[in-house]
Amino acid sequence: MTSGPIEELRVPFDPRHAEEQALRWRRLLRGRIVTFILTCAILVALYVWRGDQMAGAGLVVVYTVVIGLSLAWLVIYLLVYLRAKKFAASVGSGTAVRIDRSGVEVAGVAVPWDEVMGMAAVKGGFGQGPRFEVSRTTADPVSVPFDHMDVRAATLDMTARAYSGGRHGVDLQALEN
């Protein structure tokens, strides 16, 4: 079997990682729901068992704090799960990144090499992973999360250097920490 020269690197969108994160947070949320129910059940059992000996404002404060903290954790886990679910639903289809001799394409936006100002792995915001970003001379940068692709950042760097004739590489400093 013979193979010809490689003409491009084509990286499709891959929803697996984002879906796995959403499933992980769903499992954690279910665990938090069980913990909340058990906390409430224990507090009710304590009140029924020793209710006559426990009275006053102190009991109300303790119960309120315990239930409030447990409920707060439940709400936090719910919000993180909903965010992970939304992130998983935002994974595109088709080609996430394509690099060839003519330039780079990110999420359907083609950028010729002469319009590329730079390429970098940029840190994500709160609760978001790093992104592959291409800065352009003619418009705003285009990017795609690494969690939406199954490719190593170093592969993108080496491919960009090869196809751009050494003019462009991917700045990977954001991934070092």
1-11 residue pLDDT tens: 455 567 888 88
Find all residues with CB under 8 Å of 10, minimum gap 6, and list them.
Answer: 95, 97, 98
The predicted model gives 25-36 an average pLDDT of 95
Q: What would the two tokens of residue 30 be?
A: 């279910």
- Beta partners for residue 120, in sequence order: 133, 171
Q: What is the pTM of this model?
A: 0.72
Nearest C-alpha neighbor of 139 from the set 160, 112, 173:
112
Q: Is the pLDDT of residue 27 over 50?
A: yes
Which comes out higher in pLDDT, residue 129 or 73? Answer: 73
Looking at 7-16, 52-61, 92-101, 130-139, which range is the least confident one? Answer: 52-61
Q: Is the pLDDT of residue 126 over 90?
A: no
Task: For 37, list phi and psi in degrees, rounded to 5.
Answer: -65, -45
CB atoms within 10 A of CB 132: 26
